[in-house]
Amino acid sequence: ETGVTQSPTHLIKTRGQQVTLRCSSQSGHNTVSWYQQALGQGPQFIFQYYREEENGRGNFPPRFSGLQFPNYSSELNVNALELDDSALYLCASSSVSGPGNTIYFGEGSWLTVV
Amino acid sequence: ILNVEQSPQSLHVQEGDSTNFTCSFPSSNFYALHWYRWETAKSPEALFVMTLNGDEKKKGRISATLNTKEGYSYLYIKGSQPEDSATYLCAFRKNSGGSNYKLTFGKGTLLTVNP
């Protein structure tokens, strides 16, 4: 049990639609990151939020956006869904305390785009 | 583009065997190296966070070593049990000023332990 919860666990969307995925981070963690894991790949970094501001982004287009709320929970929004967006989306939370800090993951949200 | 490689891609062992796998990462700008154990339909479980060259960490029958100068880490499992069956992921964090939070993952090693 990592204390990081994600919803929904599975969902199916149609190409062109929009999706919102949610994450509740572990208590006391002020940093949340999102990762995409496509089939056969390791998780790929999408972006990170710290104190409600995006402070780093991976190689993902602007239609991937996010929010972090005052309670440090977070949303990942994807607009204009494409078939290649089908993947497992993982949320990770941590406290900003140096190289030795553990980063905890949720179970993920499986997105299928048809 | 950072390259994090894990080998082997998959491994089948018998219960009681000891096994090990490798994670290779860039040998420059090292910040931290994370190991995770990931069972299907569960969240990745944090095993170790390694930060110093020569680090050795142990958790039960699982241990890990780190060589930052040559850019590799080994994960060892002693006396494998069927419940050790999972994908083992390593993730590298680069020292890049304010953006050292990002994890760059390998593709994982899928371990299957046969009873």
pLDDT, tens only, A8-60: 999 999 999 999 999 999 888 889 999 999 988 999 999 999 889 998 899 99
Please report, to the nearest 10 degrees, the dihedral formed by the alpha carbons of residues B62, B67, B68, B72 taken in order: -70
More confident residue, A52 or A96: A52
CB contact under 8 A, B103 and A35: yes
A53-62 own/partner pairs: CB under 8 Å, 24+ apart: A55/B98, A55/B99, A56/B99, A56/B101, A56/B102, A58/B102, A60/A36
pLDDT (average), residues B68-76: 97
Encode pLDDT of A46-89 as tens digits. 999 988 999 889 999 999 999 999 988 999 999 999 999 999 99
Most B CBs within 10 Å: which of A105, A107, A109, A110, as the mutation test of the B interface?
A105
- Give residue A20's pLDDT: 98
CB contact under 8 A, B104 and A2: no
Task: Please report the sign of the dihedral spanned by the C-alpha atoms of residue A30, residue A36, residue B88, residue B35.
Answer: negative
Encode pLDDT of B76-97 as tens digits. 999 999 999 999 999 999 987 7
Using CA coordinates, name the residue in chain A closest to B42: A107
The minimal CB distance from A42 to the residues B31, B45, B105 is found for: B105
On the question of a cis peptide bond just before residue A70, with omega within 30 degrees of 0, the verdict is no
| pLDDT band, very low/low/confident/very high, at A96 (cuts 50, 70, 90) | confident
Chain A residues interacting with chain B (CB cutoff of 8 angstroms): 2, 4, 31, 33, 35, 40-45, 48, 55-56, 58, 90, 92, 94, 96, 99-108
Encode pLDDT of B20-61 as tens digits. 999 999 999 999 999 999 998 899 999 999 999 999 999 999
- Give residue B95's pLDDT: 87
- Give residue A34's pLDDT: 97
The answer, for B100 touching chain A at a CB cutoff of 8 Å, is yes
Using CA coordinates, name the residue in chain A closest to B5: A42
B9: distance to nearest CA of chain A, Å? 10
Between strands A10-13 and B72-77, the pairing is unpaired
pLDDT at B98 over 70: no
The Cα A7–Cα B21 span in angstroms is 33
CB contact under 8 A, A56 and B31: no
Instruction: For chains A and B, count residue pairs whose Cβ atoms are closer than 8 Å.
Output: 67
Residues contacting residue A13 through CB under 8 Å, at least 6 positions apart: A19, A81, A111, A112, A113, A114
